[in-house]
Amino acid sequence: MESLDLRVLGDVLAWRQAGRRVTLVTVVETWGSAPRPPGALLAVRDDGVVSGSVSGGCVEDDLIARIKAGEYDSLSHPSMVAYGVSKEEAARFGLPCGGTLRLVQEPVSDVGWIQEVLQRTASHQLVARTLTLATGQVALHDASRSDAMQFDGSTLTTLFGPRWRLLLIGAGQLSQAVAHMAALLDFEVLVCDPREEYAATLGLDGVTRVLGMPDDVVKELVPDAHTAIVALTHDPKLDDMALMEALNSQAFYVGALGSQRNQDTRKKRLMEHFDLSAEAVARLHGPVGLRIGAKTPAEIAVSIVAEIVQIKNATPTQAAAPAASTSSCDLS
C-alpha cells in the first residue's frame, strides 16, 4: 500500500464529512504495461476534483467527465469498468503497449471503515479490507506481511499499511535522512541506538525508536523476508552486534556503512570472532548503497534507500547476492 493511497482515503474522508459525493476507484487487474499497479486508488469528487490516480493518463479524464455528467449518480453498489480492451482504446486512454485496466468503482457512503483504516495504519498496523461487490459491504481484518491484494470477481481484498520494515542501527544524521526517505516509501522504520547523545535528537514522525542493544533488538524483531537492516553507526562495537544476528536471519537486505577496506576487515572479523559462515557474510551489502557519487548525508541516504528498493523489487535470482562495491561512501 502506497502512502499516496492512504492520502486518497484521507481526502475521501474529508470530502464526505463536508457533504460531497465521492466515487472511489481501485485498480484490480492489469495487462500489458499498465502505469499503475493493482490496488492503486483514485477518488473523484462530484465536481470532478481528484485524489490519486489509476493510470496517470486519460482514464482519469474519462472518469471525471462521466461523474460530472451524473452518469454514476444512481450507482448504489460497486461495479466493474474496463479500459483499453482494444488497441484503439489503449491508445485513446494513454495506456502504453496495449495495456488494459480493470477497475472497481464504488460510491462512498459510510466512512467508518476509512476512519478505522487511518487510525490503525497510523499505529503501524497492516489492515486488510474486503469489499463485496454485490452489496457494497466492507469488512476489515488484520493482515500479515505475506498477504497480497486479491480479487475473484465478486470480492476485492486490498491492503493498507506498511508491509515492509527497515531497522536502522544508529540515530545520527545519516540514519535520520534514511529514515525519512524510507517512511515516505511506506516502510515501517525502526531505529536502535543505545547512545542517548544520538537517539535524543531522533524525533521523526512515523519513526519508532527501539530500546536495547543492537543484537537483542534484531533477535526480538525476528526479521523476515520483508525486513531490511542497515548498520550506520560506524562503530564496530554496535554495528557488528546487529550484523551477527541480521546475517543469519531471513532479512531480505542487510547493509553496513564503511569503505571497501573497512568492509573487508569487517567480514573477516565476523567470520573469525562471531563464527559466521562465508555464505552468511556474503549477504552483506557493503559498502552500502548504489554508486551515484553521493557525498552529503542526504545523497548517501538516497543511494542506500535506492539499493534497498532495488533489492526489494528484484526477482529472487537477482536479489540472491549483493553487487560488488556499490557505495559512494568511502568512510574508513
Mention every residue, 6+ apart, whose C-beta is less than 8 A from residue 275.
none
**Contact indicator for 289, 307 with CB cutoff of 8 Å:** yes
* Mean pLDDT rounded to a whole number for the chain: 87
pLDDT value of position 271: 93
Residue 323 near residue 288, CB atoms below 8 Å: no
pLDDT at position 3 is 66
Confidence check: pLDDT of 320 > 50: no
Burial (CB count <10 Å: 0-12, 13-18, 19+), residue 119: exposed
Residue spans per domain, the chain: 3-160, 164-312
Write out the E strands in the chain. 22-31, 41-45, 50-52, 79-83, 100-107, 127-132, 138-142, 150-151, 155-160, 164-169, 187-192, 207-209, 227-231, 253-256, 284-285
Asked if 23 and 81 count as a contact pair (C-beta separation under 8 A), the reply is: no
pTM: 0.71
* Residue 278 confidence (pLDDT) above 60: yes
Please, how many CA atoms are within 13 Å of residue 146, restricted to the half-sphere of its CB?
Answer: 2
pLDDT number for residue 329: 45
- Give the pLDDT confidence score for residue 204 in this predicted structure: 78
- CA 172 – CA 128 distance, rounded (Å): 35
- In the β-sheet with 79-83, what is the strand arrangement from edge to edge? 50-52, 41-45, 22-31, 100-107, 79-83
Q: Is 88 exposed, middle or buried (0-12, 13-18, 19+ CB in 10 A)?
A: exposed
Phi/psi of residue 204, nearest 5 degrees: -105, 135
The pLDDT, as a whole number, for residue 91 is 61
Examine the pLDDT at 97 and tell me if it is beyond 60.
no
Mean pLDDT of 216-241: 93
pLDDT band of 318, cuts 50, 70, 90:
very low
pLDDT on residue 247: 96
CA 69 to CA 63: how far, in whole Å?
10
| pLDDT in the model for residue 34 | 59
Model confidence pLDDT, tens digit, residues 54-89 = 886 678 888 999 999 888 877 889 999 988 756 666
Yes or no: is domain 164-312 CATH 2.70.70.10?
no
Q: What are 281-301's pLDDT values in tens digits?
A: 999 999 999 999 999 999 999
128 versus 29: the higher-pLDDT residue is 128
DSSP state, 111?
A: -
Report, as an integer, the average pLDDT of 218-243.
Answer: 93
Is pLDDT above 50 for 326?
no
Q: What is the pLDDT of residue 59?
A: 85
Neighbours of 269 (CB within 10 A): 16
pLDDT at 113 over 90: yes
Q: Do 164 and 312 meet the contact criterion of CB atoms below 8 Å apart?
A: yes
